[in-house]
Amino acid sequence: MKYKQTPPIQWLPTFEASARLLSFKAAAEELCVTPPAISQQIGALEAWLDLKLFERKARKLKLTPAGQYYLKVAQNTLAEHVQGYLELERRFKIRALSISTPLFLAQELLIPNYLTFADYAPDIELRLETRMSSVDFENEALDAAIRFGDGDWPGLNCKKLGDSYISLVCSPDYLATHGPIDINDLSNHRLLSISPELSDWVALNGKPLPKGQPRIICDSYMAAIKSAAEGLGIAAGIFPIVGLWVENKKLITPLQAQYVTNHTYWLVSPAREEQTDAIEGLHQWVKGLFDALK
């Protein structure tokens, strides 16, 4: 790379802070240097570029069009450097395994059994991140993720964690007040879902739902299950994981029917990387927790 054709990279933090804060004094305070030092570096950068990056009027700074463009360059460069450093530290300095998982699975299964992970991957620090969205392994410092689906995700190694089935769940009070429940006629029941289209319920019902079907759309599966336990409506429970709530009598299954699904929980990781002992240990740990629910 022809580094001599670009300005010294140590000027970028100075420029980024000054441009973001529009104040040499504030940038100096943030970077723990003096305002003259900031002004000197900005002047040197502008001289090197032969471009004005700031308009200086009445002690106020304003970015020129060139400054606005170069601010994006500086921010992207610094962000990539920080992300690369964190990834370097994670890979070669800290023995850690970072995974993404749905909130419900983390709270109900992984966190209560967190300490037993050491039996499968000694000396590895397990880091959990909860989210609904999929992981971008290309741009995020994550080693693996737990997803719910059919396991058909190109470019990923997918390891099944266990089979699942669906059964309706609600609170005992809800059933006493609104029962009985008929899967073929849900028009009088409030349905809980994370899908605005109620796609999970349409799949279970096998036909479109009535127009104006009562519903509550939740931002997570955890919220849907908690809403069911509070008596707000009916949820499609994913078993065996929801079985813990049934055992604790927070929920009941108003119907005996169990609906087979080809969707279940999977441990996924980038196919481009070797399956490390840590990821294999993670799979065995989580699979063992699923097996114990049966």
Q: pLDDT per residue over 13-45, tens digit each? A: 999 999 999 999 999 999 999 999 999 999 999
Confidence of residue 214 (pLDDT cuts 50, 70, 90): very high
Residue 285 CB contacts under 8 Å (≥ 6 apart), including other chains:
116, 117, 119, 120, 121
What distance in Å separates the CA atoms of residue 48 and residue 189, rounded to the nearest whole number? Answer: 70
Contact 39, 23 (CB under 8 A): no
Pairwise CA distance, residues 67 & 84, whole Å:
25
Instruction: Please tell me the predicted confidence (pLDDT) of residue 57.
Output: 82
CB 110 within 8 A of CB 289: yes
Q: Where in the chain is the domain with CATH 3.40.190.10?
A: 95-163+263-293, 165-260
What percentage of the chain reaches a pLDDT higher than 70?
96
pTM of the model: 0.66
Three-class secondary structure assignment of the chain: CCHHHCCCHHHHHHHHHHHHHCCHHHHHHHHCCCHHHHHHHHHHHHHHHCCCCEEEECCEEEECHHHHHHHHHHHHHHHHHHHHHHHHHHHHCCCEEEEEECHHHHHHHHHHHHHHHHHCCCCCEEEEEECCCCCCCCCCCCCEEEEEECCCCCCEEEEECCCCEEEEEECHHHHHHHCCCECCECCCCCEEECCCCCHHHHHHHCCCCCCCCCEEECCCHHHHHHHHHCCCCEEEEEECCCHHHHHCCCCECCCCCCEECCCEEEEEEECCCCCCHHHHHHHHHHHHHHHHHC
Once rounded to an integer, what is the mean pLDDT over residues 96-113?
Answer: 93
Task: Please tell me the number of Cα atoms within 13 Å of 193 on its side-chain side.
Answer: 16
Give tens-digit pLDDT for 37-75: 999 999 999 999 999 999 988 778 999 999 999 999 999
Which pLDDT does position 278 carry in this prediction?
87
Domain with CATH 1.10.10.10 in the chain: 3-91
pLDDT, tens digit, 9 for 90 and up, residues 220-270: 999 999 999 999 999 999 999 999 899 999 999 998 888 888 899 999 998
Residues with Cβ within 8 Å of residue 258, at least 6 apart in sequence: 165, 166, 167, 239
User: Is the pLDDT at 143 greater than 70, yes or no?
Assistant: yes
Q: Is the pLDDT of residue 3 over 60?
A: no
User: Topology of domain 3-91, per CATH?
Assistant: Arc Repressor Mutant, subunit A (1.10.10)
CATH superfamily membership of 95-163+263-293? Periplasmic binding protein-like II (3.40.190.10)
Task: Work out the mean pLDDT of the chain and round it to a whole number.
Answer: 89
Integer Rg of the chain from CA: 27
Tell me the one-letter amino acid at 167: S
Q: Over pLDDT 90: what percentage of the chain?
A: 61
**pLDDT, tens only, 81-103:** 988 887 777 667 667 888 999 99
pLDDT of residue 274: 59
Could you tell me which CATH number the domain at 165-260 has? Answer: 3.40.190.10
Distances (CA, A) of 182 to 121, 228, 256, 270, 280: 47, 17, 11, 43, 43
> Facing residues of 264 across strands?
149
Residue 2 confidence (pLDDT) above 60: no
